[in-house]
Structure 1
Amino acid sequence: MPKNVVALLLMVFIAMTSCKDEPKKEVKEASTLKTEELKPVEVKEFGYTLKNYLVVRDTIKVGDSFGEILQRNNLEYPQIYNIVEGAKDSFDIASLQVGKPYTLLCTKEDSLQRPKCFIYQPNSIDYVVVDFADSTLVKKGKKKVKLVEREASGVINNSLYVTLQDQGLSPIVAYKMSDIYAWTVDFFRIQKGDRFKVIFTEKYIDDSIYAGIDKIKAAYFEHKGESFYSFRYETDSTKHIIDYFDENAKNLRRAFLKAPVQFSRISSRYNLNRRIAYYGNRVRPHKGTDFAAPIGTPILSTANGTVIESARRGGNGNYVKVKHNGTYTTQYLHMKKRKVHVGDYVKQGDVIGWVGMTGNTSGPHVCYRFWKNGRQVDPFKQDLPKAEPIGDSLKVKYLDYIQPIKHQLDAIVYPSEKTSDEEEFLTELNQQNAISDNQSN
């Protein structure tokens, strides 16, 4: 056979062999790819692999108790009793709140599918695990939280609360700002045209579920043309002492809050010659300051101290009296309900009761009384002590720390200064956050 014919036949054979092999290679690769796509993903939550259990999710209903929930899910009373006894030193089973979610991890090993584990979520981040293994085990944990930094600004036409609400932002931002500026800005006399900027962080669970406001990193408030900066700073890492200071390292807080309730109004001031309608319009000294607020509004201790009276008596109704030191004492009257008892130590801003109408009162409010050296005085006319400033040893470090944050604050523009594209984007973003906020609540 001629050499050229042999060569030609050899080339044809190689080509045919290659064509046959190629499809096999493609099928093999496709088969491998398909197998990888079908590989099961193990879902873990609360430290458990969920595929190993029948997962039951529900919320605490009115009338539900820990024992009733377990009994409904096929556990017998003797076992429930043992679980409660084993958990009582670590978890208060009476603390279950209506509307809060819980999860039962049930066995797949028998037809009754009995619970092996009870998980309670008092909020969107914290959870308590009661494991019914050989001996009851209680574990407390937190879901992984991602913090996202955000900026906001506004010009006030009504109130700080309404201005933030109009932007689709959480009212918690307003509450936190009012705490920071409780002594430097008079929120009872806030003016149209006052402006603010704020840098804060939001919490997200599993990178996507909105879980509320974390903290305010820094803020700027312009009130009556005067500027007030505030920066969050930890002055003692071992004791976790954190406060807010201005651009000159001065503490924004004073030893006393201006008011025992947030976002209220003064309905009656300290007045020794006031005529009181409740007593027939007679002149009777009013040695307190009345803050009108809806029934149920939390009443806050205006400073650190010890509760020396917590009772219901005569015209005072339900009241609490707090001794702060050898000089100052405060009292809070007409409460709907008291939260603290004699001997309790309270910190500035702690809730000590709720606004009501007990005693001699014609409307819901708290009457705030203030003693200095045993004599009742007008708190708004006192030169009250300031909180401690940053020490000289930390001041240089603090000023270096806030420098880039101050630049960031100064660079934030007000809504009227934003372009139409920016406004459209921010409006859409805030609407999405507002929807998430409502769902998480």
Structure 2
Amino acid sequence: MRAQKFCLGILSSLLLFSCGDKKTANEKIEKVEVIEKPVIIEAYGFNIADFEIVRDTVRNGDSFGELMLQNKVDYQKIFKVSTELKDTFDVRKIQIGKPYAILKSKDTTQTTQYFVYENDRINYTVVDLRDSVVAYRSKKNVKYVERVASGVITSNLSTAINEQGIDYMVTNNLSEIYAWSIDFFRLQKGDKFKVIYKEKYINDSIYAGAEPIEAAYFEHNGESFYGFEYQVDSLKNITEYYDDAAKNLRRTFLKAPVEFSRISSRFNLNRRIKYYGYKLRPHKGTDYAAPLGTPILATANGTVVESTRRGGNGKYVKIEHNGTYSTQYLHMKNQNVKKGDFVKQGDVIGWIGMTGNTGGPHVCYRFWKNGQQVDPLKEKLPAADPIVDSLRADYLKFINPIKTKLDNVEYTIIEKEEEQQITQN
């Protein structure tokens, strides 16, 4: 009996101890308060949640001064921006269609604190309108993604590239690389190309265009043309395109004075025209047909010696390049240069028109060599300077892995719907 009481006493003690311990443990549990972090949405380097923001685009008739006055910025600050910050933000150069943002305080005054002007999709200028008015330039976060593209010509270069959803600028860049060595008006069905370039993305998702081509391969009429971008002067950021033997792809003259046009009439000293009774009427130029207003480019560096209108030539420009070569561009809608101007290769010197004797919009391109008009498409035009000897070894080492990558790219072939149906049937 005494033993039973002893056991019951111990059991009761254990139960009491257990319950007490459990209570103590519960008392020690502290309540944890979960604090939600504010969501930060960043734009132009600011947390947008901190401001009232107005977004718009510059419209016809808008000026920086008017926009600021509408948003209660005092005249003294507007004057300071307009007169003292020209090097960073020239208010006279804001363009219609460009986006801008006005960041205001979130209090009852809604004071305008910042004006942000988007120079392009990546670069922007911030005008700080707080106590001391200052301006600075910055850029959005950009990710660069390497892309490899290829194709086979079925009709023209633009079609072969556009069918793959590739940026149109790649077409332009490719034509510029080979502007001196390939006649893009005479591409053949079956010609092939490969390119390596980078695409830009803002905030990882917004497409912002294509960078210049880093490497290219073009096969035209069975002949191979490589092109590699290489920096020849890091201080001046000068780059050139050379082939796989370190020869410069650039020539002193472009193949044509317009981009993506067609030759409507060739140089022909034996031309006879029915309208004139089949009398001999030599054509000493090459006609490039293109829509009205298409830019006409200087095919080489030189000095404008004529920019006028005369007879059947209509409005025209003549450029003297050196003691050997001169070029002339006829039937312009308007000229963009005047006599005495120095122009660089690729500069817009005028626009396609129909002035003078012409049956349609085109430019008649005339080419002189040693005072005689010749056919530029049959001339072996001089090449630009080759790569300097001190850089040759480094260049060849640089392009070796890139050339290997290009060689291993397979061609993308886009089948037409009709061809696919025939195949399926």
TM-score after normalising by structure 2? 0.85
Shift of 1:312: 4.1
RMSD across aligned C-alpha pairs, in angstroms?
A: 3.0
In structure 2, stretches of 5+ residues that fail to align are 1-5, 416-425
Segment of structure 1 superposing worse, 374-383 or 362-371: 374-383
The aligned residue for residue 420 of structure 2 is none
Shift of 1:301: 1.7
The aligned residue for residue 334 of structure 1 is 331
The aligned residue for residue 344 of structure 2 is 347
CA deviations over 1:189-221 (Å, ceiling 9, x no partner): 111111211111111112221111111111111
Residue identity matched to 1:296 = G
Larger radius of gyration between Structure 1 and Structure 2: 2
Shift of 1:248: 1.3
The aligned residue for residue 59 of structure 1 is 57
Shift of 1:62: 2.8
- Structure 1 pair 127–294 and aligned structure 2 pair: CA distance change class (3 A): same
Contact 2:242 2:249 in 1 (8 A): yes
Percent pairwise identity = 56
TM-score after normalising by structure 1? 0.82
The aligned residue for residue 106 of structure 1 is 104
- Whole-angstrom CA distance in 2 between matches of 1:63 and 1:200: 39
The aligned residue for residue 261 of structure 2 is 264
- Whole-angstrom CA distance in 1 between matches of 2:276 and 2:126: 57
Residue identity matched to 1:384 = L
Alignment partner of 2:213: what SS?
strand
The aligned residue for residue 369 of structure 1 is 366
Alignment partner of 1:85: what SS?
helix
Alignment partner of 2:214: what SS?
strand
Contact 1:278 1:362 in 2 (8 A): no
The aligned residue for residue 206 of structure 2 is 209
The aligned residue for residue 24 of structure 2 is 17
Shift of 1:41: 4.5
- Structure 1 pair 13–233 and aligned structure 2 pair: CA distance change class (3 A): same
- Structure 1 pair 76–394 and aligned structure 2 pair: CA distance change class (3 A): closer
- Structure 1 pair 217–278 and aligned structure 2 pair: CA distance change class (3 A): farther
Contact 2:77 2:133 in 1 (8 A): no
- Whole-angstrom CA distance in 1 between matches of 2:89 and 2:335: 25
- Whole-angstrom CA distance in 2 between matches of 1:167 and 1:371: 41
Shift of 1:239: 2.6
- Whole-angstrom CA distance in 2 between matches of 1:175 and 1:274: 34
Q: How does 1:31-430 map to 2 (within 5 A)?
A: 31=33, 34-35=34-35, 38-75=36-73, 80=78, 83-88=81-86, 91-108=89-106, 111=109, 113=110, 115-133=112-130, 137-275=134-272, 283-415=280-412
Segment of structure 1 superposing worse, 54-63 or 133-142: 133-142
Shift of 1:405: 0.8
CA deviations over 1:257-279 (Å, ceiling 9, x no partner): 10111111111122234346898
- Structure 1 pair 130–337 and aligned structure 2 pair: CA distance change class (3 A): farther
User: For this pair of structures, how many residues does the alignment match?
Assistant: 408
The answer to which structure has the higher helix fraction is 1
In structure 1, stretches of 5+ residues that fail to align are 419-441
Residue identity matched to 2:236 = K
Residue identity matched to 1:13 = G
- Structure 1 pair 341–91 and aligned structure 2 pair: CA distance change class (3 A): farther
- Whole-angstrom CA distance in 1 between matches of 2:334 and 2:126: 33
Contact 2:146 2:196 in 1 (8 A): yes
